[in-house]
């Protein structure tokens, strides 16, 4: 891997260097190629341009035709690469959206785009409802207004909404009416150092070493067990 960097010298100038790093040659192995030193911003930009051209040696540019050349000239790019003004998490967002559809959430939510954006954003980065709009924007998409999100929240909180999503999950997993089992485990500990077959030392989420009893709760459609 190679990249351009600037370093301040002892004389106060700014040195432009190309750093060639390699993990094959050895951990942290680097070769530094000195391009030159600049004493003002104009000279610094000129040296950076030289460094970038040196990095691009052997990497031919695609010819997009005269229309693209005119676009470059009009943008002030001077024949160099165009500036990146935005980016989009296309592959990640498309994959999450495909999984969203496969689960049946698109149909269950009635095509609600606000709900879809909220779900996908909080998978990318678990965060608050307000901050999820920032995640959508960083992914390269237009987020809804926060007022719109707040207006939709009461609908998302209804029991009927949750039931539609649960039914979609059950259909995708091919679950029958009594197939879903919820199971939880906890422990009871005792102020004694001696086990008796039921109370024995073991793992505890509270990191206790005393003998304890593990208990479980398994609620199904038929009740608790």
Q: What is the spatial distance between Cα 148 and Cα 98, in angstroms, rounded to a whole number? A: 24
Same domain, 164 and 98: yes
Are 97 and 147 contained in the same domain?
A: yes
Task: Give a yes or no: residue 27 inside a domain.
Answer: yes
Q: Which residues contact 67 (CB under 8 A, 6 or more apart)?
A: none
What is the chain's pLDDT, residue by residue, as a tens digit (225 residues)?
A: 777 888 888 788 888 888 887 655 455 556 888 888 888 888 888 888 888 888 777 666 666 666 666 665 555 555 555 566 667 888 899 999 999 999 999 999 999 999 999 999 989 888 888 888 988 988 888 899 999 999 999 999 898 998 898 888 888 877 766 555 566 666 666 666 666 666 666 655 565 666 666 677 766 556 665
Are both 189 and 148 inside the same structural domain?
Answer: no
Q: The whole model's pTM is what? A: 0.47
Note whether residue 86 is domain-resident: no
Query: What SS3 class is residue 143?
Result: coil
The verdict on residue 84 lying in a domain is no
Contact 201, 194 (CB under 8 A): no
| Final residue before a domain boundary, out of 13, 45, 75 | 75
Is residue 198 in a domain?
yes
Domain ranges, residue 42: 2-75
Radius of gyration of the chain (CA): 30
- When divided into structural domains, the chain yields a total of 3
């Amino acid at each position: 891997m190679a990249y351009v960097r600037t370093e301040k010298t002892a004389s106060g100038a700014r040195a432009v260097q190309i750093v060639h790093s390699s993990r094959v040659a050895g951990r942290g192995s680097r070769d530094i190629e000195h391009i030159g030193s600049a004493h003002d911003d104009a000279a610094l930009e000129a040296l950076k341009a030289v460094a970038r051209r040196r990095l691009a040696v052997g990497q031919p540019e695609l010819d997009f035709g005269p229309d693209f050349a005119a676009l470059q000239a009009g943008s002030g790019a001077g024949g160099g690469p165009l500036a990146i003004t935005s980016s989009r998490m296309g592959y990640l967002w498309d994959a999450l959206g495909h999984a969203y559809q496969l689960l049946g959430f698109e149909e269950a939510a009635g095509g609600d785009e606000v709900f879809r954006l909220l779900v996908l954003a909080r998978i990318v980065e678990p965060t608050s409802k307000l901050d999820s709009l920032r995640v959508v924007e960083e992914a390269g998409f237009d987020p809804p207004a926060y007022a719109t999100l707040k207006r939709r929240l009461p609908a998302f909180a209804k029991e009927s909404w949750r039931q539609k999503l649960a039914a979609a999950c059950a259909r995708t997993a091919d679950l029958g009416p009594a197939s879903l089992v919820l199971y939880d485990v906890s422990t009871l500990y005792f102020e004694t150092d001696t086990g008796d077959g039921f109370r024995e030392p073991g793992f505890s989420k509270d990191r206790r070493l005393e003998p304890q009893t593990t208990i479980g709760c398994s609620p199904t459609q038929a009740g608790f067990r």
